[in-house]
Amino acid sequence: MSNLNLAQRLARPELLDLEPYQSARRIGGRGDIWINANESPFNRTELARLNRYPECQPPELIAAYSKYSNVPAANIVCGRGADEAIELLIRAFCIPGRDSIAIFGPTYGMYSISAKTFNVGVNALNLSEDYQLPSDISGVKGCKLVFICNPNNPTGTVLSVERIEQVLQQLPDQLVVVDEAYIEFCPENSVAKLLESYPNLVILRTLSKAFALAGARCGFLMASTDIIDIIMLVIAPYPVPLPVSTLAVQALSDDGITNMLADVALLKAQGQRLAATLTDLGAKVVPSGANFLLVYFDDIAKISNGLKDAGIVARAYRDPRLVDAIRFSFTNERETDQIITVLQQLLA
Ligand code: PMP
């Protein structure tokens, strides 16, 4: 047992003997006549090679994300959104009916839903009043995976790199999963630079938010190669469709990144305008590092109904910590003007 690495010690033990599915693409080969994968020889589309299965981990996509994130390609896995990465972690590391994950709420709902669909326990801990990690995190004891969402959805609040590093130091025998789905809106808070120092760190990323590709379904998991090796045992044979990796590589090109940065700046400016208006109108706006604002209102029913009547679809919650709040995603200038006008009428 003693020469197992951290990822192997934490993995579901039966996986260590599992031979992963050997897809035709993984086995590969040399030659001109490819009849090893029951594919059609006819490409009926304008996309090259769409009749063929894609690579499990398209090398151009991994290289593009590596260049963008400054994380070595060997430490990156891509899949169908950050949601798939959450599921892969739970499937790879948590024994159903026995293991648990820890979360700090209110937070993104899929950690607990994914765990529950695999009969994995959820240790639901609370963030502090101001949505920071509690000073005492001993409640996560025994949990294989500790999820930390930064910036946090739905509060938008941000944890410092120093605080996350303390957690990594305190929990050397658990995996600390930092969900950076919204990190492009506050890149200085990324813990990507800690990956080489902490074998217990996992980072989740996505192209669904700042990169404006939610419909493409493309996300990334970044971690030590030991953790990546375990994830590769449970990943689907072809998780990323070819048209998706083509679009994703474009989004991660120099031009794509320039566009993304311009969008982020524009959205943040609109968000600041919305926050300033709501604060002036007396609502309680939670400071946000993401592309949305959580706002508490005295008369939540009036605001919800008023937004609905105006055709504005914002997000309300049943969680008792959030029943008086609405989450507003940032949008373009024209729609922000409309939202501000409606809120000014409702809060006048
Ligand atoms: N993490 C967080 C915090 C999110 O808010 C979301 C999307 N709502 C996801 C992960 C999932 O992102 P993806 O679209 O990449 O599956």
Q: How far is the CA of 206 from the centre of ligand 1 (A)?
A: 7
- 331: which DSSP letter? -
> Mind listing the pLDDT tens digit for each residue in 224-275?
999 999 999 999 999 999 999 999 999 999 999 999 999 999 999 999 999 9
User: 337 Cβ partners below 8 Å, 6+ apart?
Assistant: none
Global confidence as pTM? 0.97
Distance 82 CA to ligand 1 centre (A): 5
pLDDT in tens, 129-164: 999 999 999 999 999 999 999 999 999 999 999 999
pLDDT for 328 equals 98
Indicate the CATH number for domain 256-347. 3.90.1150.10
Q: Provide CB contacts within 8 A for 253, sequence distance 6+.
A: 64
Secondary element (H or E) of residue 102 = strand 100-105
Ligand 1 atom closest to residue 152's alpha carbon, by position in its atom list: 3
* pLDDT, the chain, mean: 97
Nearest CA to ligand 1 atom 10: 82
Residue 19 Cα to ligand 1 middle (Å): 30
How would residue 185 be classed by pLDDT, with cut points 50, 70 and 90? Answer: very high
117 φ/ψ angles, rounded to the nearest 5 degrees: -70, -15
Cα–ligand 1 centroid distance for 124 (angstroms): 19
Distance 237 CA to ligand 1 centre (A): 22
User: Among 110, 150, 220, which residue has the most ligand 1 atoms within 8 Å of its CB, making it the best to mutate?
Assistant: 110
pLDDT band per the 50, 70, 90 thresholds, residue 291: very high
Pocket of ligand 1 (CB under 6 A): 81-83, 108, 149, 153, 179, 181, 206, 208, 214, 219
CATH of 6-252, one of 3.10.20.30, 3.90.550.10, 3.40.630.30, 3.40.640.10: 3.40.640.10
Residue 26: predicted pLDDT: 86
What average pLDDT does range 278-303 have in this prediction?
98
Q: Are 76 and 69 in contact (CB under 8 A)?
A: yes
Q: Which atom of ligand 1 is nearest to the CA of 86?
A: 10
Instruction: State pLDDT tens for residues 2-43.
Output: 699 999 999 999 999 999 888 988 899 999 999 999 999 999
Ligand 1 center from residue 86 Cα (angstroms): 9
- Burial (CB < 10 A; 0-12, 13-18, 19+), residue 215, is exposed
Domain with CATH 3.40.640.10 in the chain: 6-252
Atom 2, ligand 1: which residue's CA is nearest? 181
Interval 61-96: pLDDT, tens: 999 999 999 999 999 999 999 999 999 999 999 999
Where does CATH 3.90.1150.10 sit in the chain?
256-347
Task: Report the percentage of the chain scoring pLDDT > 70.
Answer: 99
Q: Provide the pLDDT for residue 1.
A: 54
